[in-house]
Structure 1
């Protein structure tokens, strides 16, 4: 009898360890400035992303993932503050400084936490292991280029290491992220503790640098100019996206088709080079023997225009800049499944808490995707909110989008389902006056939820 009691006691002591081992690992991979259309599997551009395509085919894709916008020109700063705090855009500045970060919640749930790459969040990263924290962007971008074919021939090149940028330190920063990620996974396979990895690439943010062989994958004569290409966006000054904005200075103003082709060539090359590094991380994960108990989440902090609508940057409310790729792969997730309901990219944080068995704290406003994946819920958010400082506002609802420019009291209205390139503004079309009125009313209601006091009348 005494022996049996001792056996039961020993077994009970092992239970917490066994439970901890069963917790899934989480690998979060984050890109910077990557628009949804730059994933090859989506079939929207010729951008080559075999490893991101693998995630699309092996897991779930959310085709309508959005960022809420930003309170300043560095849209990535707001996006990352929301991601790591769990708070919506107008509350994230406060919450990121006053509440536990994502990594701390995962650590408290028994995870070993690891981070490398771009941070760009107030305060220092709060992970168990931190390697090579990078700033908001590498230095070394070329501006107002190319003004002509001759200027291009003799000017800035993405593979020229003398410009620094991603080449500063001797190894391309995307490769450094992969190197560190592979090293950590090599150690993790010997550890029974579940791990949470936060792998944050600076790519494909400018300076869009990549080895020459990646640029050569995209001959200029094969690059297509976007359907909604414009030389000048008609309201660029009023929305704060004129030639004085850093992102918009990258290309000549007005835009030229040649300059846009060069920028898209370099953008695609930078994405493809990053994709190759993601492939190395996925391969290293397989070698740990722990892939079957690991969830991989990939997304980006926001999109990018790169020539759409006469814009180059992300400080606008159009799909190319608000919408990002989002994939999740892991146990119980059906391969090749696709979800079209709108979500926010920051739902990645709440999803990982759900998977880790963490009760969502009150300050975390974003929602787990698992109820959608399991079929327990069909709607995540019935309205999507967007802002850029006090010069732009947006609501997307039911396949329609309303954009508002407060400085000139200008509305724009798009039927995004029928007009995905957002080329036909219906705001002044009397046929859709009722739709515009409906969206105005819905936006005012949404403003209350978002603590947004800007007047739109």
Structure 2
């Protein structure tokens, strides 16, 4: 009898354990403060604590240690060479890439609300400083704004004029002869045509103080003002860095030696399909470095890129310190991400106008009350999930009208699988992508070309499996899934016109 009773008890315990959720729901604070820290052009692989031992990011490392890091955050792509424009339109309207323009128009007409307006509706005092680059005015959507930057710092690149010159080259002319200062460089170690520390070049020093430092001062001023208020706040702090021109003070340049920096493992002098996918010399980002790419030029650009990131990191550290000193840290969530990634020599590419992970994946971290420190989540998300997450924290029901999803259930361990069956990507009508079940399929419609990568086994996307006979069924299935995703995100490009599988 005792044995039977013991078995019954054990079975009851096992049965009860199976019925319990993996982690009980934690009670999160109501109406916490929310700070959204946003970088520009920062690749997921440019944080020291996440594996890049050459870049110096002590404050971003603290975010990794003190919160939850999502290692597979994606941007959907863009209808424009200015990928940041599309990314920010999605972020501030909650609409997927091919519906975001309509979303912006709806906000402008007052038919829909922006992210900031949705936060205001929940009783939040809203603040914005830095890069905006959305086609409705920030000043009309946030309670407070300061030093709003439209896009990248001014330079002397005239895209339309450059494209015209490239298309009408005469015999004996070289497109490189038309490159403005700051592009097609460095040609050699003796090339000193442009310096990242020369304030006479303007750029981030336009106005007299580096824009990352201006944002720091703006943010700290608002935090000091808000620390005496009972009203919750939402801060949208958008750095222009590390977007080119990658300028930072000399002390940050001195932290790096280009000779000792590693060239990306997937570096190549020329990407074979560069012109066909819109990544030739007429693309502004691509024209920053010489064609064909050289390892020396790549190292120089990496040095300037890392220096810009480290300089931005230092300003983030001072903002985080101000939050701690304000007494608000225990009731504040910080979400950190960037509008997309960036290629700096990877695959022979410069810029973010491609479907490789280095260009589509930014970092994404969230820290705050109730979140586990040092946790990493590999479930795939979109960076625009930051919007839905903030609305979730704020208690908004309007999040239900947003395409994107809160990451809180994933961060809290209440959910394991991604909210998305697959990740979509698109650039103009020139590129399409789907990432599903550890594989990525890239399509170049204009030249009827496919690329397939096993991301789990080949994270640097160096071995194209598209011609492997054993992958035919996978390609067919992924192609079909991509067409389903197209309808979900408003993509009207008829891929059947290009591929018959």
| TM score, norm. by length of structure 2 | 0.86
Encode CA deviations 1:77-110: one digit per residue, 9 max, x unaligned.
Answer: 0000000000100101111221211000101100
| Partner SS for 1:150 | coil
Structure 1 position 452 matched with structure 2 position 491 = yes
1:148 paired residue among 176, 180, 188: 188
Structure 1 position 108 matched with structure 2 position 121 = yes
CA distance in 2, matches of 1:263, 1:135: 24
1:333 paired residue among 371, 375, 378: 371
Is the deviation greater in 197-206 or in 429-438?
A: 429-438
Superposition pairs of residues 203-352 of structure 1, within 5 angstroms = 203-352=241-390
Encode CA deviations 1:201-246: one digit per residue, 9 max, x unaligned.
Answer: 0000000000011111110111111011011100011101111101
Per-residue deviation, 1:361: 4.5
Match of 2:152? Answer: 137
CA distance in 2, matches of 1:441, 1:111: 43
Encode CA deviations 1:384-429: one digit per residue, 9 max, x unaligned.
Answer: 0000000000000011000000001100000011001100000011
Match of 2:472? Answer: 433
Contact 2:391-2:399 within 8 A present in 1 as well:
no
Q: Which has the larger radius of gyration?
A: 2
Match of 1:183? Answer: 221
CA distance in 1, matches of 2:434, 2:30: 41
List, as ranges, runs of 4+ consecutive aligned residues in structure 1 with deviation greater than 6 Å: none
| Partner SS for 2:285 | helix
CA distance in 2, matches of 1:392, 1:272: 32
Match of 1:43? Answer: 51
> Please, what is the CA RMSD of the aligned residues?
1.1
CA distance in 2, matches of 1:364, 1:46: 38
Per-residue deviation, 1:155: 2.0
| Partner SS for 1:37 | coil
CA distance in 1, matches of 2:105, 2:63: 33
Match of 2:77? Answer: 69
Contact 1:252-1:259 within 8 A present in 2 as well:
yes
Is the deviation greater in 355-364 or in 392-401?
A: 355-364
Per-residue deviation, 1:371: 1.5
1:417 paired residue among 452, 456, 462: 456
Match of 2:433? Answer: 394
Encode CA deviations 1:131-189: one digit per residue, 9 max, x unaligned.
Answer: 000121012471010011111xx321111100000011110000000000000001011
Per-residue deviation, 1:376: 2.7
Structure 1 position 32 matched with structure 2 position 71 = no
CA distance in 1, matches of 2:186, 2:490: 42
Per-residue deviation, 1:375: 2.6
Match of 2:446? Answer: 407
Structure 1 position 84 matched with structure 2 position 97 = no
Contact 1:354-1:360 within 8 A present in 2 as well:
no
1:56 paired residue among 64, 71, 76: 64
Structure 1 position 168 matched with structure 2 position 176 = no
Contact 1:178-1:277 within 8 A present in 2 as well:
yes
Is the deviation greater in 352-361 or in 227-236?
A: 352-361
Which sections of structure 2, spanning at least 5 residues, go unmatched? 1-28, 107-111, 156-180
Number of aligned residue pairs: give it. 435
Per-residue deviation, 1:438: 1.7
